[in-house]
Structure 1
Amino acid sequence: MLHNELRFQDPVSFRNFTRMDAEVFTKLLTIIENDIRRQDTNMRESIKPRDRLAVTLRFLATGETFQSLAYATRIAPNTLSQIIPDTLQAILNNLEDTCIKLSLTAGGVTK
């Protein structure tokens, strides 16, 4: 993926691609990495946690279809359909108590 090149050679493009600075990306990755890591097999290497997070952030940033993301990332659409929800769930599980405030009222205003 383009991730490594952008991160170190073009921080502005990295921020545009992921919608966050490299430091924030690294911090978020550290928090959720164990939840999104998959084991390598004899048949293939697993998709690394940093790539799982990057493609999820790209999906959120652009709203692209899985098919479109597949062309950009070389990850099959059916695999993306598993990676993205899993990564989003890991983010929610790890950050909901400290960073994410959900409104419980109909008007969207919490008391």
Structure 2
Amino acid sequence: MFVETPAIFKTSIAKSEQLLYQRKEKGEMGITENEWERIAKLLEIDVEEIKENSETSNVMNNFDNSSGNYIGNNNNYCNIPEFVLKDLQDYIALLKEENQRLKEELKSK
């Protein structure tokens, strides 16, 4: 006798699977060998062709919804509070004064 699964359980299972997939996609969870084999079978290719290689690669994560495909210059903008900028400018001015004083001290020797 076949019993229909209630919709609430189907929804719960779907959300659970989606969360697991998202964690795997982010690299928070690994992909099992069985999953690699199923993916390879669906794509009709060898498992080795889709597995990540162990070589080092550069990964750029953009958390501002911008694309990661850049050619040439990458411009990154950050919001820095005004008081931090003011403190840094004051510190730079202080360092310039110190450099000038030390240069004059060297000249006098």
- Normalised to the residue count of structure 2, the TM-score between the two structures is 0.22
Which structure is higher in helix share?
1
TM-score (normalizing by structure 1): 0.22
Larger gyration radius, structure 1 or structure 2 = 2
